[in-house]
Amino acid sequence: MSEVQGTIRPGTHFMMGNFACVEAAILAGCRFYAGYPITPSSEIFERACVRFPQVGGFAVEMEDEIGSVAALIGASFAGAKAMTATSGPGFSLMMENIGLAYIMEAPIVLVNVQRAGPSTGIATLVGQGDMMQAKWGSHSDLETIAYCPSTVQEFFDLTIQAFNTAEKFRTPVFIMADQVVGMMREKVKIPPPEEIGVEHRRVMDPDMLKTSPPYDYLEDFMPMPIAGTGCRVHVETSTHDARGYPTTDHSLSESMTGHLARKVRGHAREIWKWEEYLLDDAETAVVAYGSTARSALAAVKKARSEGIKAGLLRLITAWPFPDEVVEKASRRVSHLLVAEVNNGQMLHPVTESSRCPVVGVNWAPGTLLGPDTIFDALEVVAR
């Protein structure tokens, strides 16, 4: 470890994905972790218990996943950057308080290392079955932000990105990893701390409250009141007015929910991240994310070697869904194939956005969807 602030030494490391996530969180300024162990995300919790105290932070085991998110919200309003990690059933339990974080506009980061389901499923093996839950799991209409790493390096990079996005948009942000990416070991390049761009929180000045209310729903990015700084602000779990107090006024409900949606969807183009491979002359394209994108890339390379003009569109941002990116790709090819370890979840928004036929390459959870299965689907479509 570096002698400076206890951060990891810059350079190239050989590291597990779950460990890389923790090191990135520290470099992003996170100093509070609250969680409950669950396979295959437990290494994140274990690593946080060792590393956070070394940098002056705290890692706390809560009684359950519901309490974990409640603790994150409290830490966030105390001024800390806060995170947790979970999988499958734990993600479901967190959803109630994730809704609380949305309405309170608490910037927190939640990592879901997805595993096979439903219920306990196969707790130690891969799945990608929580993608729709990230979008629709909490009640009411919410615009969510979710990133999907496909390498250990990207798990590191996107963890920093997730904290920056949470701070800028004052909202919960998901990292939708999976068992393969979380538990595999690869090289990770870690830059010096001074070269890492870190988004700092906009903190409310108590003097601001003398002339304006704490909630301006015409403003996308509002400063945040921090406990103990002199900001006497009512932070409410119910629909609230400009002062933060509960209301049943429909026009104010429209203003508040519109604000929550607009600050994400209205800035979707700056949130979207994706990667294209050999799409310029492709006749068929595979859409994939997470660990499945690794198999998809191998399948595309094999297809090219056998004369099939295939390409890859890798979704790095799952939500807000990059509909314009998918639509543009669909206008250049005859078919889109959506490869994922589930029975067809991201298949739905891809189909809605596509201007060409869409084929699902679906795979039951428990093993990685391999390149040969994706290649076989490419062969069928290319005939």
Burial status of residue 106 (CB atoms within 10 A of its CB: 0-12, 13-18, 19 or more): buried
CB atoms within 10 A of CB 276: 15
- Report which of 298, 295, 358, 289 is spatially closest to residue 319, judged by C-alpha positions: 289
Instruction: Give pLDDT tens digits for 280-305.
Output: 999 999 999 999 999 999 999 999 99
* In the chain, domain spans: 11-195, 274-382
Q: How far apart are CA 354 and CA 357, in angstroms?
A: 7
Say what the pLDDT of residue 4 is. 47
Low-confidence ranges of the chain (pLDDT < 50): 1-4
Please give the pLDDT value at position 283. 97
Tokens 């919790």 correspond to what residue? 45
CATH topology for 11-195? Answer: Rossmann fold (3.40.50)
Cis preceding linkage at 40, omega within 30: yes
Q: 274-382 has which fold?
A: Rossmann fold (3.40.50)
Among 230, 259, 265, smallest CA distance to 105 is for 259
Instruction: Check if the beta carbon of residue 77 is closer than 8 Å to that of residue 117.
Output: no
* Confidence at residue 5, expressed as pLDDT on a 0 to 100 scale: 59
Say yes or no: do domains 11-195 and 274-382 share a fold.
yes
- Three-state SS string over 80-115 comes to CEEEEEECHHHHHHHHHHHHHHHHHCCCEEEEEEEE
Specify whether the CB–CB gap between 193 and 4 falls below 8 A: yes
pLDDT score for 7: 87
pLDDT of residue 309: 98
Answering whether pTM is above 0.95, one says: yes
Q: Using CA atoms, how far apart are residues 102 and 144, in angstroms rounded to an integer?
A: 9
CA 1 vs. chain centroid, Å, equals: 27
What is the pLDDT, as a whole number, of residue 6? 85
